[in-house]
Structure 1
Amino acid sequence: MGKLDRTQGELGRQLTRVLREAIRSGELKPGESLPSTRHLAETVGISRGLVTNAFEQLIAEGFLEAQAGSSTRVSRSLSALLSTLPPSETAGQPRKTSRTNRTSAAIPAPTLPPRAAAFADVARQFTPLPPVPFAVSVPIGPTAPDDTWRKLGNRTRGLRAAAPSGYDDPQGVPALRAAIADYVRKSRSVHCTPGQVIITAGTQQGLYLACQILLEPADRAWVEDPAYRGITGILEATGNAMRMVRVPVDESGIDVEAGIRKAPDARVAFVTPSHQYPLGMPLSMARRTALVAWARANDAWIVEDDYDSELRYVGHPFPSLQGLAPDRVIYLGTFSKILFPSLRLGYAIVPEHLVPSFCGARGLMDRHPPSADQHTLAAYIAEGYLDRHIRRVRLVYAERREHLISTIASRIPSSLGWLQPGDQGMHLVLWLAAPIDDLAVAAQAMAAGVAVRAVSPLYAAGNGRPGLILGLGGYTDAQTEAAVDKLGAIIAAASGAPRSRKRRVSAKTIAGSIAG
Structure 2
Amino acid sequence: MARTAGIAEIPSIGTLDREAGKLSRQVAQALREAVRNGEILPGDALPSTRLLAASLQIARGTVIEAYEQLIAEGFLESKEGAGTRVARALAEPRQAREPRVIRRRSALRGLPEPAVAFAQIAQEFRPLAPVPFAVSVPVGLTAPGDIWRRLGNRVRAKGPGAPAGYTDPLGALPLREAIAGYVRKSRSVHCEAGQVIVTSGTQQGLFLACQVLLGSRDEAWVENPAYRGVTAILESTGHRDTMIRVPVDAEGIDVEAGIRMAPHARAAFVTPSHQYPLGMPMSVARRSALLAWARANHAWLVEDDYDSELRYQGYPFPSLQGLDPDRVIYLGTFSKILFPSLRLGYAIVPDDLVDAFCGARVLMDRHPPNADQHVLAAFMAEGHLERHIRRVRNVYFAHRVQLIETLSTLLPKELAWVERGDQGMHLVLWLAEGIDDRKVVELAARAGVAVRAVSPTFAPGTGRPGLILGFGGFSIAQMKAAAQRLAAVIADVANSLGQSRAVIGKPPMRKGRDR
Q: So what's the TM-score if we normalise by structure 2? A: 0.81
Pairwise mapping of residues 115-514 of structure 1 onto structure 2 (< 5 A)?
115-496=114-495, 497-500=500-503, 502-503=505-506
- Relative to structure 1, the CA distance from residue 264 to residue 407 in structure 2 (aligned partners, 3 Å threshold; closer, same or farther) is same
For the residue of structure 2 that corresponds to 1:36, the secondary structure is helix
Equivalents in 2 of 1:460, 1:212: separation in Å?
22
For the residue of structure 1 that corresponds to 2:412, the secondary structure is coil
| Structure 1 residue 109, shift from structure 2 partner | 2.8
Q: Is the 8 A contact 1:220 1:263 kept in 2?
A: yes
Equivalents in 2 of 1:193, 1:348: separation in Å?
12
Equivalents in 1 of 2:451, 2:309: separation in Å?
23
Equivalents in 1 of 2:387, 2:198: separation in Å?
22
Q: Which has the larger radius of gyration?
A: 1
Equivalents in 1 of 2:106, 2:488: separation in Å?
47
| Structure 1 residue 111, shift from structure 2 partner | 2.1
Count of aligned residue pairs for this structure pair = 445
Which residue type is aligned with residue 329 of structure 1?
A: V
Which residue type is aligned with residue 317 of structure 2?
A: F
- Relative to structure 1, the CA distance from residue 47 to residue 276 in structure 2 (aligned partners, 3 Å threshold; closer, same or farther) is closer
- Deviations along 1:334-355, one digit per CA (max 9) or x if unpaired, are 0011101100000000001111
Equivalents in 2 of 1:487, 1:210: separation in Å?
38
Task: Give 2:90's aligned residue.
Answer: none
For the residue of structure 1 that corresponds to 2:160, the secondary structure is helix
| Structure 1 residue 13, shift from structure 2 partner | 4.8
| Structure 1 residue 383, shift from structure 2 partner | 1.2
For the residue of structure 2 that corresponds to 1:231, the secondary structure is helix
Which residue type is aligned with residue 320 of structure 1?
A: S
List alignment gaps of at least 5 residues for structure 2.
1-5, 28-51, 59-95
Equivalents in 2 of 1:195, 1:9: separation in Å?
48
Equivalents in 1 of 2:445, 2:390: separation in Å?
31
- Deviations along 1:371-413, one digit per CA (max 9) or x if unpaired, are 1111110111111111111111110000000000100111111
| Structure 1 residue 316, shift from structure 2 partner | 2.0
- Deviations along 1:102-147, one digit per CA (max 9) or x if unpaired, are 7975996332221111111111010111111101111111111131
| Structure 1 residue 14, shift from structure 2 partner | 5.8
- Relative to structure 1, the CA distance from residue 105 to residue 128 in structure 2 (aligned partners, 3 Å threshold; closer, same or farther) is closer
Equivalents in 2 of 1:327, 1:213: separation in Å?
15
Q: Is the 8 A contact 1:12 1:51 kept in 2?
A: no
- Relative to structure 1, the CA distance from residue 430 to residue 163 in structure 2 (aligned partners, 3 Å threshold; closer, same or farther) is same
Task: Give 1:36's aligned residue.
Answer: 19
Q: Is the 8 A contact 2:278 2:428 kept in 1?
A: yes
| Structure 1 residue 502, shift from structure 2 partner | 3.1
Equivalents in 1 of 2:105, 2:351: separation in Å?
57
For the residue of structure 2 that corresponds to 1:309, the secondary structure is coil
- Relative to structure 1, the CA distance from residue 35 to residue 185 in structure 2 (aligned partners, 3 Å threshold; closer, same or farther) is closer
Equivalents in 1 of 2:288, 2:483: separation in Å?
41
Which residue type is aligned with residue 165 of structure 1?
A: A
Task: Give 1:50's aligned residue.
Answer: 56
For the residue of structure 1 that corresponds to 2:408, the secondary structure is helix
Task: Give 2:75's aligned residue.
Answer: none
- Relative to structure 1, the CA distance from residue 117 to residue 49 in structure 2 (aligned partners, 3 Å threshold; closer, same or farther) is closer
- Relative to structure 1, the CA distance from residue 405 to residue 167 in structure 2 (aligned partners, 3 Å threshold; closer, same or farther) is same
Q: Is the 8 A contact 2:491 2:504 kept in 1?
A: no
Equivalents in 2 of 1:42, 1:481: separation in Å?
65
For structure 1, which segment, 192-201 or 110-119, has the greater mean C-alpha deviation from structure 2 after superposition? 110-119
| Structure 1 residue 322, shift from structure 2 partner | 0.4
| Structure 1 residue 421, shift from structure 2 partner | 2.6
Q: Is the 8 A contact 1:198 1:349 kept in 2?
A: yes
Equivalents in 1 of 2:107, 2:406: separation in Å?
53
Q: Is the 8 A contact 1:189 1:320 kept in 2?
A: yes
- Relative to structure 1, the CA distance from residue 165 to residue 406 in structure 2 (aligned partners, 3 Å threshold; closer, same or farther) is same
Pairwise mapping of residues 2-81 of structure 1 onto structure 2 (< 5 A)?
13=11, 15-16=13-14, 36=19, 39=21, 41=23, 50=56
Equivalents in 1 of 2:492, 2:219: separation in Å?
43
Q: Is the 8 A contact 1:334 1:346 kept in 2?
A: yes
Task: Give 2:71's aligned residue.
Answer: none
Identical-pair percentage: 61
Q: Is the 8 A contact 2:411 2:508 kept in 1?
A: no
Task: Give 1:57's aligned residue.
Answer: none
| Structure 1 residue 49, shift from structure 2 partner | 8.0
For the residue of structure 2 that corresponds to 1:192, the secondary structure is coil
- Relative to structure 1, the CA distance from residue 458 to residue 100 in structure 2 (aligned partners, 3 Å threshold; closer, same or farther) is closer
Which residue type is aligned with residue 398 of structure 2?
A: E
For the residue of structure 1 that corresponds to 2:310, the secondary structure is coil
Equivalents in 1 of 2:375, 2:9: separation in Å?
48
Q: Is the 8 A contact 2:306 2:336 kept in 1?
A: no
Equivalents in 1 of 2:290, 2:26: separation in Å?
78
Equivalents in 1 of 2:101, 2:142: separation in Å?
51
Q: Is the 8 A contact 2:413 2:508 kept in 1?
A: no
| Structure 1 residue 51, shift from structure 2 partner | 7.0
Task: Give 2:91's aligned residue.
Answer: none
- Deviations along 1:288-327, one digit per CA (max 9) or x if unpaired, are 1111111111111000000211111101222111011100
Pairwise mapping of residues 87-106 of structure 1 onto structure 2 (< 5 A)?
101=100, 105=104
Which residue type is aligned with residue 235 of structure 2?
A: E
Q: Is the 8 A contact 1:12 1:50 kept in 2?
A: no
- Relative to structure 1, the CA distance from residue 450 to residue 105 in structure 2 (aligned partners, 3 Å threshold; closer, same or farther) is closer
Q: Is the 8 A contact 1:41 1:47 kept in 2?
A: no
Task: Give 2:36's aligned residue.
Answer: none
Equivalents in 2 of 1:145, 1:299: separation in Å?
42
- Deviations along 1:436-458, one digit per CA (max 9) or x if unpaired, are 11000011001100000000010
